[in-house]
Amino acid sequence: MSQDPALETFFAECTELQASMESVLLRCEQGAADAEAINELFRAAHTIKGSAGLFGLDAIVTFTHVVESVLDRARTGELPISGAAAAILLEGTDHIAKLLASIVAGDDAQDPALLHSGSEILARLTAETGFTTAAAAVTALPADSKAAGVVAPAGVGDGPWVASDCWHISVRFNVNVLQNGMDPLSFIRYLTTFGTIAGLATIDDGLPSLEDFDAECCYLGFEIAFQSQADRVRIEGAFEFVREDCTLNVLVPHAPVAEFTALLGRLPEANERLAELLVQCGSLTAEESRACLSVPELNDAARPAQGTDIAPPASVTERQNDGRRASDGKGGDSRSIRVDGDKLDRLIDWVGELIIAGAATGAIARQAGLPVLQESALQLAHIVGEIRDQALKLRMVQIGSTFSKFQRVVRDVARETGKSITLEVSGAETELDRTLVEGITDPLTHLVRNSIDHGIETPEVRLASGKPAAGIVRLKAYHDAGSVVIEVADDGGGLKRERIVRKAIDRGLISADQSLSDDQIYALIFEPGFSTAEQVTNLSGRGVGMDVVKRNITALRGTVEVHSEPGRGTRIYIRLPLTLAIIDGFQVGVGPQDFVLPLALVEECVEIDTNEQAAAETPTGHISSHGSVLPLIRLRDLFGIRETRGRRQSVVVVRSAGKRVGIVVDELVGELQAVIKPLSKLFSQLQGIGGSTILGTGKVALILDVPGLVARTHAAHRGADGGRRATRPIQDLISE
C-alpha cells in the first residue's frame, strides 16, 4: 500500500489508540469499568473507525463498528462491561492491531483466517454482553457520483417519493478540501456504517467552465436523506475530520417545513433548484416544496454568489475547530507535532558533525593565538552546546509508555501459568533516548516473563510459605550517576544457587573447586544455553533467551547485574547510558593514544603517592583513597600500548554501580563533547571499549566502557579472570 504521509499518520495514531484501549481494558478487567473508562474506550473505537472510513479500510470499519456499538450502549447503561467482556474486548484490540499490520504489509486485511477470527470475537462479545442489532441493508453510492440523482430504496420507482423517519443532511464542501487531503465521498460512505442513505442528490451547480476547471478543487455538495437510529452528535461526528472544510446542516426526522425554508435561505443555490433536489432525495414532498418557495422572505437577489463559502449561524450544527478543542479540554494553540524518528536521527548526526567542526575551530583558534578568534570560537562552542542539548532532548522520551505495555504481558503470562500476579511500576517519568527505549523492550519482556514463570511460586506454594497468594513483579527506573537504571524485581523464591553451580559444573563453565561470589554465580544464567528449569514450558526452559538479553543490553552500551535472596525474590539491575549519540566526556592520553571517559562517571583525579608506588605496580594494583582500597587498571597494560610511559602518571577515579576504580593514564587533557561513532568490526575482540569519537585535531579517540572496566577490575581483585588485556596491541588495530 502507498505509504503517503496521511496514511502513515493514521497508522501511528491508530496504534496509539489501540494501546490506549488495551490499557483501559486491563483496568476494566479488574472491575474498574466506570463511566470514564467506558467513555474513553468509546472515543478511541469511534476515532479508529472514523479514520479507517476516511481511507476506505472496510475491514477495520466493519469490525470496529460492532465494538463501538457495544461501547455506545454501555455508555448509556444498557449493556454491562464485565470482566469477561473486557477480556473479549482485549482480544478485539489485538485483532485491530492485526488488521493494521496486515494493511501496513500491503494486504487488504481480507485474509479468510483473519476475517474468521474477527467474526468469532464479535460473536463472543455480543453473546457476553447481550448486544443485538437489527440488520440493515446498506445502500452503496452510485459509481457515477457526478450525476445528480437519487439513491432510492429497493422498490421505489422513478417518480417522487418521501423518505419517512429520515434525518436530512445538507453538506457543501469547500473548494480546497481535496488539497487538504480529504475525500468528500469517503465521509458519505462512512455514514453507511451506522445507517442507510435513503436518498441522495449531488449538487454540482458550482462547476466552472472547462477552461477554469481545476482537478484539485472540489465543486460538489450533497443533500442526503439518512435513515439511522443514531443521534445528532453521532451524525455530526461522521464529518469530524472535515469540519473546517465544509458547511454542514443537519435536520431531525419529521422536521417542520419552516426548518427546510430556513435551510433554503442559508444555502447559495437558487431556491427552485434546491427545492427540486430536496424532493428528489425524498426529504420533502412536492406540496411541501411549494410551501417553502411561497415564503416571501426567500429572496434570491439577496443571497451570495454561487461557489462562495457560507458560514452557518450559531444555531446550525456546524462546530468550528476551536470549539471542539475547548470541549476536549485542550488549548486552542497546539504546541505538539509528530516528527518522523528518522528525521531526528539525521538531525543528531548533523549536530554531531557540528560539534566536531566546532572543536576543530576551537583548536585552530588556540593555535593562532588571536584573542578575537578565540572569543568567537568560545561563543560558537557555547551555541553548539545549547543546540546539542536541545537536539538530544527531542529524542528523550519517558519510559512510562514502555512500562505500561507490561500490564498486558503480566496479565497474559499469569493466566497461562495459573498464577496471580500484580505489576508495580515506579519511575515511569524517567527519560532516556528513544533508541534505548526501543532496544530495551525485548530484554525487559523476557525478564518479566522469566520472573513470572521461574521466580514467582504458585499460589499454593506461596500460601504454604506464609506469603500472599498473589506475587509481585516490580518495574522501576531512575537516574544514577549519568545513567538510567531499570530494575526488574519479584518477590518469588529466588535463584537456586546450588542448582546453578551444579549445572555450571556439568557444562564445564566452572570447576568444582572454584570459589565464586553469589553475584558471579548468578551471572552464569546469562551464559548461552544455560537453564536450570526442570521442565520445558511454552515460556522458558530451553536455555534460549537470557544470553540474548545480555547481548542486547551490551549492544546498548549497558550492563546487567543479578541479585537474589532465597525465599525473598530476585532483583535484576539494567544500567544504560542516557543517550547513544553524544556525551560530555573527559579526555585522557596514554602514550600516543587518546581515550575518553563519560564525564558523569568521573569522580576525581589524583596522583600516585611515592609510598604507594610499589602497591600500584602489582598485578592487582591498588592505592588508598579516602580510607579505602582503590583497585587500579592500567590502560597501557590492558591495550598493549608499547611506548614507554611518561615520568608522571595520574589516576582518574570513576564510579559505576556503586563501585570505584582508578584508571592510570599518562596525561589529563580535559573536558570535551564526544560524538559517539560505532566501532569497526576490527575492534570487536577488544574489551573495555564502548565506541569512538573524532577529536578537533582529526584524531580518533576511543571511548572507554567504564561500567565494564569497573566490573572486570573488581572481578580480577576477587580472583576471577577479569583483567585480561587486549589480544592485540591497540595501535596495530587503529593503523589498520
User: Is pLDDT of 334 > 50?
Assistant: no
Helix, strand, coil % in the chain, rounded to nearest 5: 45, 20, 35
pLDDT greater at residue 516 or residue 319: 516
User: Is pLDDT of 146 > 60?
Assistant: no
Lowest-confidence range among 293-302, 425-434, 452-461? 293-302
521 domain-assigned: yes
The span from the CA of 63 to the CA of 56, in Å, is 13
Together in a domain, 381 and 454: no
Average pLDDT over every residue of 317-335: 38
The span from the CA of 661 to the CA of 653, in Å, is 6
Strand partners, 673: 584
CB atoms within 10 A of CB 21: 25
135 domain-assigned: no
User: Is pLDDT of 583 > 90?
Assistant: no
Residue 408, C-beta contacts closer than 8 angstroms, at least 6 positions apart: 22, 26, 90
**In this predicted model, what pLDDT tens digit does every residue of 62-101 receive, in sequence order?**
888 888 888 888 888 888 888 889 999 999 999 999 998 8
Band of the pLDDT at 456, cuts 50, 70, 90? very high
> Under a CB-based contact definition with an 8 Å cutoff, are residues 643 and 592 in contact?
yes
Query: 49: domain CATH number?
Result: 1.20.120.160
Mean pLDDT taken over the chain: 78
DSSP per residue, 535-568: S--SSS-SS-SHHHHHHHHHHTT-EEEEEEETTT
136 domain-assigned: no
Together in a domain, 597 and 572: no
> Cα separations (Å) of 160 from 146, 148, 152, 291?
21, 15, 10, 16
Band of the pLDDT at 542, cuts 50, 70, 90? very low
Domain of residue 119: give its range.
Answer: 5-129
User: Is pLDDT of 160 > 70?
Assistant: no
User: Is pLDDT of 51 > 70?
Assistant: yes
431 domain-assigned: yes
The two beta strands, 659-665 and 650-656, are antiparallel
User: Is pLDDT of 586 > 90?
Assistant: yes
pLDDT greater at residue 192 or residue 535: 192
162 domain-assigned: no
Q: What is the CA angle 170-175-176, rounded to 5?
A: 120
User: Is pLDDT of 251 > 50?
Assistant: yes
Together in a domain, 309 and 177: yes
DSSP per residue, 354-412: HHHHHHHHHHHHHHHT-HHHHHHHHHHHHHHHHHHHHHHHHHEEETHHHHHTHHHHHHH
User: Is pLDDT of 320 > 50?
Assistant: no
Band of the pLDDT at 468, cuts 50, 70, 90? very high
Sign for the CA dihedral angle at 717, 718, 719, 721 comes to: negative
Average pLDDT over every residue of 488-502: 90
Q: What's the confidence (pLDDT) of residue 180?
A: 75
- Cell representation of residue 375: 572569543
Lowest-confidence range among 161-175, 378-392, 477-491? 161-175
Together in a domain, 107 and 211: no
Together in a domain, 111 and 32: yes
- Highest mean pLDDT: which range of 23-27, 205-209, 576-580: 23-27
Give residue 274's Cα distance to chain centre. Answer: 49
Q: What's the confidence (pLDDT) of residue 140?
A: 32
Query: 496: domain CATH number?
Result: 3.30.565.10
pLDDT greater at residue 594 or residue 325: 594
Lowest-confidence range among 461-475, 521-535, 590-604? 521-535
Q: How many domains does the chain divide into?
A: 5
> Under a CB-based contact definition with an 8 Å cutoff, are residues 618 and 723 in contact?
no
146 domain-assigned: no
Average pLDDT over every residue of 379-403: 86
- Highest mean pLDDT: which range of 90-104, 277-291, 710-724: 90-104
- Cell representation of residue 568: 525473598
Together in a domain, 388 and 405: no
640 domain-assigned: yes
The span from the CA of 282 to the CA of 328, in Å, is 36
User: Is pLDDT of 158 > 60?
Assistant: no
By C-alpha distance, which of 169, 184, 278, 187 is closest to 224? 169
pLDDT greater at residue 166 or residue 132: 166
Query: 632: domain CATH number?
Result: 2.30.30.40
Burial class for 42, CB neighbours closer than 10 Å (0-12, 13-18, 19+) = buried
Q: What's the confidence (pLDDT) of residue 460?
A: 92
Together in a domain, 443 and 483: yes
Together in a domain, 404 and 450: yes
Together in a domain, 310 and 371: no
Together in a domain, 494 and 510: yes
Average pLDDT over every residue of 42-54: 82
Domain boundary among 77, 109, 129: 129
- Highest mean pLDDT: which range of 306-315, 494-503, 694-703: 494-503
Q: What's the confidence (pLDDT) of residue 718?
A: 56
| Angle at which helices 58-75 and 83-104 cross, to 10° | 160
Strand partners, 471: 421
- Cell representation of residue 252: 431531525
Residue owning grid cell 419517512: 164
Average pLDDT over every residue of 526-538: 65
- Cell representation of residue 484: 538510567
C-alpha distance across the termini of the chain, in Å: 46
Lowest-confidence range among 77-86, 518-527, 657-666, 684-693? 684-693
> Under a CB-based contact definition with an 8 Å cutoff, are residues 408 and 26 in contact?
yes
User: Is pLDDT of 22 > 70?
Assistant: yes
- Cell representation of residue 678: 560505532
pTM: 0.61
The span from the CA of 129 to the CA of 134, in Å, is 16
Burial class for 255, CB neighbours closer than 10 Å (0-12, 13-18, 19+) = middle
Q: What's the confidence (pLDDT) of residue 464?
A: 92
Band of the pLDDT at 492, cuts 50, 70, 90? very high
Average pLDDT over every residue of 54-64: 81
Domain boundary among 367, 397, 427: 397
User: Is pLDDT of 301 > 90?
Assistant: no
Which run of H or of E encompasses 474?
strand 471-480
Band of the pLDDT at 684, cuts 50, 70, 90? low
User: Is pLDDT of 135 > 80?
Assistant: no
Express as a percent the part of the chain with pLDDT over 90.
14
Residue 127, C-beta contacts closer than 8 angstroms, at least 6 positions apart: none
260 domain-assigned: yes
Sign for the CA dihedral angle at 595, 600, 606, 611 comes to: negative
Sign for the CA dihedral angle at 58, 61, 66, 67 comes to: positive
Band of the pLDDT at 297, cuts 50, 70, 90? low
Together in a domain, 635 and 726: yes
> Under a CB-based contact definition with an 8 Å cutoff, are residues 189 and 138 in contact?
no
User: Is pLDDT of 521 > 90?
Assistant: no
- Highest mean pLDDT: which range of 3-12, 200-209, 289-298: 200-209
User: Is pLDDT of 204 > 50?
Assistant: yes
User: Is pLDDT of 545 > 80?
Assistant: no
By C-alpha distance, which of 660, 474, 481, 678 is closest to 577? 481
Q: What's the confidence (pLDDT) of residue 595?
A: 93
Residue 475, C-beta contacts closer than 8 angstroms, at least 6 positions apart: 403, 406, 423, 424, 425, 426, 444, 448, 486, 487, 488
Together in a domain, 719 and 681: yes
Band of the pLDDT at 283, cuts 50, 70, 90? confident
User: Is pLDDT of 642 > 70?
Assistant: yes
The span from the CA of 512 to the CA of 91, in Å, is 50
The span from the CA of 736 to the CA of 729, in Å, is 12
Domain boundary among 81, 105, 129: 129
By C-alpha distance, which of 316, 313, 394 is closest to 348? 394
User: Is pLDDT of 437 > 80?
Assistant: yes
